[in-house]
Amino acid sequence: MNNHQLTKTGSKIASHLLAVIVGLILIMIGLLLSVPMVGLPLGIPIGLAGVLICLWGLFGTTRQKPVTPPHV
């Protein structure tokens, strides 16, 4: 494994780990906002956004289509 592959793999792991952490923080904020009935309209969308971000961090991919070279 060369340095380029190592940094590419490390950045993917770091971005997914960051997404999981941010997702969990948003879930907690959504839950805390939903406790009083006044914060319920804000707590539900924030919590759901946290769930989606956390799921992307766990199961999502950041694959890009391979670029085919032009035919000469």
Banded model confidence at residue 62, pLDDT cuts 50, 70, 90: low
Banded model confidence at residue 72, pLDDT cuts 50, 70, 90: low
DSSP state of 59: H
Tell me if 69 is assigned to some domain: no
Give the orientation angle of helix 40-59 with respect to helix 3-34, to 10 degrees: 160
Radius of gyration of the chain (CA): 18
Tell me if 70 is assigned to some domain: no
- pTM of the predicted protein model: 0.77
Tell me if 16 is assigned to some domain: yes
Provide the residue range defining the domain that includes 36. 8-59
Tell me if 33 is assigned to some domain: yes
Per-residue model confidence (pLDDT) at position 13: 87
Looking at the structure of the chain, the number of domains it has is 1
Kindly state the average pLDDT of the residues 50-72: 80
Residue 64 has pLDDT above 80, yes or no: no
